[in-house]
Amino acid sequence: MTERPPPGIDVSVPNVARMYDYWLGGKDNFAADRAAAEEVVRISEGRVLRGVRLNRSFLGRAVRTALDAGVRQFLDLGSGLPTRENVHEVTLTAAPEASVVYVDNDPVVRLHGEALLSREGRTRFVQEDLRRVEEILGHPDVRAVIDLDRPVAVLLVSVLHFVPDEDDPWAVVARYRDAVAPGSHLVLSHLSSDPHPEKMARAERVYEGANARLGARGRDAILRFFDGFELLDPGLVGPTEWRPERDEAAGEKFAGVVGVAVKR
Report the pLDDT value the prediction gives residue 110, as an integer from 0 to 100: 84
Distance CA 216, CA 203 (A): 10
- Burial level of 55, CB count in 10 A (0-12/13-18/19+)? buried
Report the pLDDT value the prediction gives residue 82, as an integer from 0 to 100: 78
Residue 191 contacts residue 231 (beta carbons within 8 Å): no
- Burial level of 103, CB count in 10 A (0-12/13-18/19+)? buried
Report the pLDDT value the prediction gives residue 119, as an integer from 0 to 100: 53
Report the pLDDT value the prediction gives residue 1, as an integer from 0 to 100: 47
Taking the model in full, what pTM does it have?
Answer: 0.93
| Superfamily holding 46-262 | Vaccinia Virus protein VP39 (3.40.50.150)
Sites in the chain below the pLDDT cut of 70 = 1-8, 84, 118-120, 247-253
Find out whether the peptide bond into 169 is cis, omega within 30 degrees of 0. no
Report the pLDDT value the prediction gives residue 30, as an integer from 0 to 100: 92
Report the pLDDT value the prediction gives residue 113, as an integer from 0 to 100: 78
